[in-house]
Amino acid sequence: MQTPASRTLKLTVGDAELDADLLLPDDPIGLVVFAHGSGSSRLSPRNLQVAHYFNDLGLATLLFDLLTGQEERVDRLSAEYRFDIPRLSQRLVGVLDWLAGNAELGALHIGLFGASTGAAAALIAAAQRPQVVHAVVSRGGRCDLAGPSLPKVRAPTLQIVGGRDPQVVQLNREASQQLQCEQQLAVVPGATHLFEEPDALEQVAMLAGDWFCRHLRANNS
């Protein structure tokens, strides 16, 4: 099992400079960009665990902070930015555009892995960049917050929710009715919103990894 090359990046998106960590295996199948959820960051242990699983499958991963350091400090006190879906989705689109212009990474087919409010940002970005985003996975996502962008998503979309997270299960079912792309709703039995139960996050990683490998590899063939 190879160890992927690790790089720390500074991504300039509009007037914001965002910290990012890239893990790049040899000959990657594709690149999965993480969009973290409410009050989280690129250093989330859950996202790092999933990213390393993806790396073992041959997928490159990019984890970045959706908010600047100053915004994160404000958000920790007020929570005012974590539900600012237009801001989050604009940042994610900016990162996709940065990747498209990067000589090394621009050729890779991209999947988006969103959690909580980051899932809404991922779906909006997929709707705005249909030629760039080839697959989307939501983990416990607030996909409903993507609103009118949902019918415009063309990338195959997998929504993963915990069986003991009934409100989000219902919101994801409602979002499914608006999606017009290839889609699937997977319920992890016994899991709550953060998938902290034994083996729950591993099930998320396996479901998501299969989805990305299938769709990103298909788009590369």
Over residues 79-119, the pLDDT tens digits come to 777 678 888 899 999 999 999 999 889 999 999 999 989 99
Based on the structure, what is the number of domains in the chain? 1
CA distance 105 to 90: 20
With CA atoms as reference, report the closest residue to 205 among 155, 157, 160, 170: 160
Q: Could you tell me which residue, 187 or 11, shows the higher pLDDT?
A: 187
Give the structural domain span for 100.
5-220
Q: What is the pLDDT of residue 217?
A: 87
Residue 1 is predicted with a pLDDT of 56
Tell me the one-letter amino acid at 177: Q
Q: Are 18 and 5 a contacting pair, CB within 8 Å? A: no
Q: How much of the chain, in percent, has pLDDT values that exceed 70? A: 94
pLDDT (average), residues 173-198: 94
* Dihedrals phi, psi of 217, to nearest 5 degrees: -65, -40
CATH code at position 60: 3.40.50.1820
- Among 44-53, 92-101, 126-135, 150-159, the minimum mean pLDDT is found in 44-53
User: What pTM value is reported for the model?
Assistant: 0.93
Distances in whole angstroms, Cα of residue 68 to Cα of each of 9, 10, 97, 166, 170: 14, 11, 18, 32, 32
